[in-house]
Amino acid sequence: MTSVLRRLLLASAAATALGMAPAYAADVTLLNVSYDVARELYKDVNPVFEAQYKQQSGKSIEVKQSHGGSSKQARSVADGLEASVVTMNQANDIDMLADRGLVVKDWAKRFPNNAAPMYSTMVYLVRKGNPKGIKDWADLAKPGVQVVIPNPKTAGNGRYTYLAAWGSVLQNGGNDAQARDLVTKIFRNVPVLDGGGRAATTTFTQRQIGDVLVTFENEVNLVRAEMGSNFDIVYPSVSILAESPVAVVDKVVDKRGIRKEATAYLNFLYSEAGQEIIAKHYLRPRSAAVAKKYAAQFKPIKLFTVDDVFGGWRAAQKRHFDDGGEFDKIYASK
């Protein structure tokens, strides 16, 4: 059977990978457009959902996948990729689709927990023994430390990392000028700015570039589970709550008459079976029972939200990531 890491890295060269069609013709086909480090999760979710739906409804259903950087994926849907559902790693990408009329404006109220059936946070993957002694955000800004982070303009992974570093300063009593200085120094230490989180993982683990990879907790655990002798995981003192929101693409499902099936698919993620799969992939589940069962694999960490520190995703996007925003100014000065 193909190893976890092998499956992780074989897919990294392509920005988008669609599932292969089965030998039979399904009654209904859905396309889930998702972010790139969720590949393995949905490889496990989809067959369980398909079997359950067949048993409950008598109808066969096939779920195909498309993966890439979260913001890049959202733009593909906006440009015409006919997603039935989107499962992203930040609300900002779905808000953009709502602004384009593809998703309803109140999409976050259509499912529980702000339409986010799972969440994660940003942590560090370092070389075995942590030779650079990396413990917290300030260590990423030190001279001689190479930090691997994907591009915040195209990847939710990179955006969360940027906001986590900025917010860590504010959470510790600092001001915006100090936060800007820290983030500027961190990005000066980034040797290559990959387009997505999976590409950044490949850069760090396969190309052997960098001293530390900053990525989602679930991603570092998958790599650590496969290559534990080569890497260690470091948790910073504070990090950001990284929700993974989902939405039905209303314009597409209504045109194709598949709203019921698309909604059932997203509801499955909240079911005990779905939450169990989520937890097994090191994503933090919403179910209290499942969270308790897997508590040992999720280290307690102080988390802040985008709403708490930045006034929500729309405000964060406008100030930090829109063209001419804080990130562009910081990266131009690198």
Tokens of 217: 């907790």
**What is residue 111's DSSP assignment?**
S
Nearest to 104 by CA among 241, 262, 305: 262
Burial of 93 (0-12, 13-18, 19+ CB in 10 A): buried
pLDDT at 10: 42
* pLDDT reported for residue 156: 87
**Where in the sequence of the chain do the CATH 3.40.190.10 domains occur?**
28-116+245-297, 119-242+301-333
Amino acid letter at 129?
Answer: G
Pairing of strands 61-68, 122-127: unpaired
CATH number for the domain whose boundaries are 119-242+301-333: 3.40.190.10
Q: What's the CATH class of domain 28-116+245-297?
A: alpha beta
**Which amino acid makes up residue 30?**
L
Per-residue pLDDT of the chain (334 residues; tens, 9 = 90+): 444 444 444 443 333 344 444 445 789 999 999 998 899 999 999 999 999 999 999 999 999 999 988 888 999 999 999 999 999 999 999 999 999 999 999 999 999 999 999 999 999 999 999 999 999 999 999 999 999 999 999 888 899 999 999 999 999 999 999 999 999 999 999 999 998 888 999 999 999 999 999 999 998 888 888 776 789 999 999 999 999 999 999 999 999 999 999 999 999 999 999 999 999 999 999 999 999 999 999 999 999 999 999 999 999 999 999 999 999 999 887 7
